């Protein structure tokens, strides 16, 4: 069933896309938005592309506000049943997208069909339990009584999860992870481990590393440490699901006493996959997990999704499991693509899903069943091949992740490559996390404008060993090799050498909490470290935590 659903689209991409667009436009034609943009007259792909502009979130704000206020048939048929919120970790404010029950059903069906389609899931035994390390955000209601929260709050505990249902109702997210760890460690047999996103996966494994003695005691005694914060009724229910297991606790102590490196295959010897969203902005955390904890266990990123839509699922024809290659869900969204060279134009020409060139970079434009039309997602992808007649791709970065002082426009991907190359060359250990900015933003915080132009990159390493001075200049050399416009500006001395600022271990954990505390809608399950920031509060915090 899953294979048929997806393969039908992949082998007939052009026809599938044409039929899907007609369905979307006819379904939405009687909404206020459909009438405003004359959907009944846009009865072909070409008419739609000529008759409707490329859009951003701002284009929809008045329609979304009407939906949120309770009006019906505004941009989606019927009423709004749920409001999906974005993380807001980059902009500082969450965007809101109205959704209805049909959308929720589509989400569940997509998850179900994905499990049927990807071969790995079909290989797993049906009666087996797997750790599902999942932080469930708690929903709120807006002033009109409509539920609102991140998309992940709609997902449900799977029946095969090693953690009892009560574990997902713990209000404190750190306590929730601790309880997940107890039940995951107690079971030595799972063939797969599932975590939401790579940052949560890293927090989880670091928490196990730092608390394994307490966790072993809890497994041995069948209790939960009293310092772990949770309502008493949930504690009673969870401890009712725990039986003392002295043998497993002793086995785990023998494993951890030798260190946590490569813990996953040692703790779970039958495990064949670690599944978590890992590409693009999550790559740094994914690499740490792979190098420190995963051993020879491959990391699989099985879906490319955002609050706006599910864009693609894991390709079945890829080079290695850690390539994080996807194939577009042409059955679910109508896709267009802006060539990377024209990404900064207001209304550039677009390419259709069957017209993409292998090796080229594009920005994704999406039309969905949920009220987005020719919407510029800001995701940049690189086409790696084709699966049938549908493009395979890797996710690179977001269009807003750009450092720019004199029109050189250095993308976050280049900063990441230069930073990792530099740290590896000097054998300075592993990068925990990083962010970057233009120096003018720092000088405004310090109230000391120099008149110079240069990039500043804040980096946290595995330890606080101070970076050698020559390393701080090496990253500038690598950037010059990677970006022609940056090299030209450096040679003309219109910009100065990029500078590397090292921060203390733990700084980016504190930065995460600072960002989440500043946004009431922020959740750990959505958090992404902004790889480029101009926020004076965040920059001030980073400057206070420099390794001297």
- Predicted confidence (pLDDT) per residue in 492-501, tens digit: 888 999 999 9
pLDDT at 322 exceeding the cut of 90: no
* Higher per-residue confidence, 449 vs 203: 203
Same domain, 293 and 329: no
Same domain, 394 and 451: no
Using alpha carbons, select from 173, 169, 139 the residue that is nearest to residue 237. 169
Tell me, letter by letter, the H, E, C secondary structure of 94-114. CCEEEECHHHHHHHHHHHHHH
- Predicted confidence (pLDDT) per residue in 436-448, tens digit: 999 999 998 988 8
Looking at the 3D structure of the chain, how many domains does it have? 3
Express as a percent the part of the chain with pLDDT over 70: 91
Residue 30 lies in a domain: yes
Helix (H, G, I), strand (E, B) or coil at 543: helix
CA pair distance 54, 486, nearest whole angstrom = 30
CA pair distance 512, 507, nearest whole angstrom = 9
Exposure class string for 420-457: b at 16+ Cβ within 10 A, else e: bbbbeeeebebbbbbbbbbbbbbeebeeeeeeeebbbb
Confidence of residue 121 (pLDDT cuts 50, 70, 90): low
- Predicted confidence (pLDDT) per residue in 237-296, tens digit: 999 999 999 999 999 999 999 999 999 999 999 998 898 888 777 887 888 899 899 999
User: What CATH number is associated with residue 77?
Assistant: 3.40.50.12780
- Predicted confidence (pLDDT) per residue in 359-388, tens digit: 999 999 999 999 999 999 999 999 999 999
Using alpha carbons, select from 515, 513, 520, 518 the residue that is nearest to residue 137. 520
* Higher per-residue confidence, 59 vs 280: 59
Q: Computed from CA positions of residues 230, 233, 234, 236, in that sequence, does the dihedral angle turn out positive or negative?
A: positive
pLDDT at 124 exceeding the cut of 80: no
Residue where one domain finishes, among candidates 398, 433, 459: 398
Q: DSSP letters of 212-232?
A: HHHHHHHHHHT---TTS---H
Tokens at residue 396, please?
């690179």
Residue 108 lies in a domain: no
Same domain, 409 and 365: no
Residue 115 lies in a domain: no
CB 49 within 8 Å of CB 113: no
Express as a percent the part of the chain with pLDDT over 90: 53
Same domain, 265 and 144: yes
Residue 19 lies in a domain: yes
Confidence of residue 402 (pLDDT cuts 50, 70, 90): confident
Tokens at residue 282, please?
């999550």
Residue 437 lies in a domain: yes
Confidence of residue 344 (pLDDT cuts 50, 70, 90): confident
pTM above 0.85, yes or no: no
CA pair distance 307, 151, nearest whole angstrom = 6
Confidence of residue 1 (pLDDT cuts 50, 70, 90): very low
Same domain, 77 and 57: yes
Give mean pLDDT, residues 314-322: 59
pLDDT at 120 exceeding the cut of 60: no
Same domain, 467 and 456: yes
Same domain, 431 and 501: yes
Same domain, 78 and 47: yes
Same domain, 74 and 9: yes
Same domain, 375 and 412: no
Question: Which letter does DSSP use for residue 297 in this model?
Answer: P
E strands along 278-367, which residues?
A: 299-300, 303-305, 310-314, 326-328, 334-339, 351-352, 361-367
Residue numbers of the domain that contains 453: 402-544
pLDDT at 2 exceeding the cut of 50: no
How confident is the model at residue 288, as a pLDDT? Answer: 85
Residue where one domain finishes, among candidates 252, 271, 300: 300
Residue 343 lies in a domain: yes
Same domain, 157 and 235: yes
Residue 161 lies in a domain: yes
Residue 276 lies in a domain: yes
Give mean pLDDT, residues 327-331: 92
Same domain, 322 and 290: no
CA pair distance 375, 415, nearest whole angstrom = 27
User: What CATH number is associated with residue 524?
Assistant: 3.30.300
Residue where one domain finishes, among candidates 372, 398, 424: 398
């Amino acid at each position: 069933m899953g294979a048929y659903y997806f393969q039908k689209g992949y082998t007939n991409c052009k026809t599938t896309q044409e039929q899907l667009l007609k369905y979307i436009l006819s379904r939405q034609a009687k909404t206020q938005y459909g009438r405003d943009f004359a959907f009944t007259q846009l009865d072909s792909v070409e008419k739609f592309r000529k008759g409707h502009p490329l859009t951003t979130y701002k284009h929809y704000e008045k329609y979304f506000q009407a939906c949120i206020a309770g009006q019906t048939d505004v941009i989606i048929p019927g009423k709004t049943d749920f409001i999906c919120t974005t993380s807001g970790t980059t902009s500082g404010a969450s965007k809101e997208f109205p959704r209805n029950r049909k959308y929720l059903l589509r989400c569940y069906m997509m998850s179900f069909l994905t499990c049927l389609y990807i071969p790995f899931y079909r290989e797993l035994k049906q009666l087996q339990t797997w750790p599902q390390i999942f932080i469930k955000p708690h929903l709120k209601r807006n002033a009109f009584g409509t539920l609102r929260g991140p998309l992940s709050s709609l997902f449900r505990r799977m029946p095969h999860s090693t953690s009892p249902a009560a574990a997902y109702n713990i209000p404190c997210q750190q306590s929730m992870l601790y309880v997940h760890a107890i039940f995951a460690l107690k079971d030595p047999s799972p063939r797969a481990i599932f975590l939401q996103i790579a940052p949560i996966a890293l927090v989880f494994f670091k928490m196990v590393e730092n608390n394994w003695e307490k966790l072993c005691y809890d497994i041995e005694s069948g209790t939960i440490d009293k310092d772990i914060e949770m309502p008493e009724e949930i504690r009673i229910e969870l401890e009712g699901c725990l039986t003392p297991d002295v043998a497993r606790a002793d086995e785990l102590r023998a494993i951890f006493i030798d260190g946590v490196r490569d813990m996953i295959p040692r703790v779970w010897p039958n495990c064949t996959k670690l599944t978590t969203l890992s590409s693009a902005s999550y790559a740094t955390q994914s690499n740490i997990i792979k190098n420190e904890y995963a051993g020879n266990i491959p990391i699989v990123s099985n879906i490319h999704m955002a609050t706006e839509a599910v864009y693609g699922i894991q390709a079945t024809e890829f080079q290695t499991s850690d390539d994080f290659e996807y194939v577009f869900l042409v059955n679910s969204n109508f896709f267009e693509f802006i060539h990377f060279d024209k990404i900064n134009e207001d209304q550039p020409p677009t390419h259709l899903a069957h017209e993409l060139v292998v090796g080229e970079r594009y920005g994704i434009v999406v039309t969905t069943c949920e009220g987005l039309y020719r919407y510029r997602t800001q995701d940049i992808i690189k086409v790696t091949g084709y699966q049938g007649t549908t493009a395979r791709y890797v996710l690179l970065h977001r269009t807003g992740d750009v450092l720019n002082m004199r029109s050189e426009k250095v993308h976050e991907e280049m900063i990441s490559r230069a930073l990792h190359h530099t740290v590896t060359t000097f054998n300075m250990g592993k990068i925990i996390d990083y962010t970057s900015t233009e120096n003018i933003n720092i000088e405004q915080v310090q109230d000391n404008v120099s008149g110079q132009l240069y990039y500043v990159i804040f980096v946290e390493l595995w330890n606080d060993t101070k970076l050698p001075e020559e390393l701080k200049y090496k990253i500038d050399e690598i950037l010059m090799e990677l970006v022609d416009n940056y090299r030209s500006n450096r040679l003309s001395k219109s910009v100065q050498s990029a500078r590397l600022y090292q921060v203390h271990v733990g700084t980016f954990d504190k930065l995460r909490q600072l960002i989440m505390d500043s946004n009431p809608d922020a959740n750990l399950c959505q958090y992404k470290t902004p790889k480029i920031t101009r926020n004076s509060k965040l920059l001030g915090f980073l400057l206070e935590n420099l390794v001297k």
